Amino acid sequence: MYIINDKEYECSVAVTLDIFNDKWKLSIIWNLLAEPKRFKDLHKSISQITQKTLTIKLKELEEKNIINREVFAQVPPKVVYSLTPAGERLRDVFKDMFEWGVSYVKEHGEISQDHVTCEATISKKIGVRK
């Protein structure tokens, strides 16, 4: 049994699934892997997310100690989001997801020439070299 904040889980996978229970949280983390970002930059980089949803998901990730929120005392206020050490450990998860995705596409689809650009972007974010 796993217990976090008085909530019980049967296994560690249940903990992970509870934290990443929607499509936006992994997108946020993906966008913070390369560098810390301000709210407006995160909002621009995640297509179709509303500002309200982004605010809610950032708060949830901060409460789970996956991301940091740093407020700078200036006018206008500057807020920067970055990954905590726990968030940084997700880098290896993204590497595994990348490798699984490539093998899946090779088995069930095809890879276009654009994959070179994608792999270069991924290499910068998570260190994958293919």
CATH topology of domain 23-83: Arc Repressor Mutant, subunit A (1.10.10)
Q: What is the pLDDT of residue 118?
A: 67
pLDDT for 67-111, tens place per residue? Answer: 999 999 888 889 999 999 999 999 999 989 888 988 898 899 887
Least confident of 50-54, 64-68, 74-78: 74-78
> Which residues contact residue 26 at a Cβ distance below 8 angstroms, ignoring those fewer than 6 apart?
20
- Within the chain, all domains assigned CATH 1.10.10.10 are found at 23-83
Mean pLDDT over 8-13 rounds to 90
**pTM here?**
0.84
112 or 50, which is more confident?
50
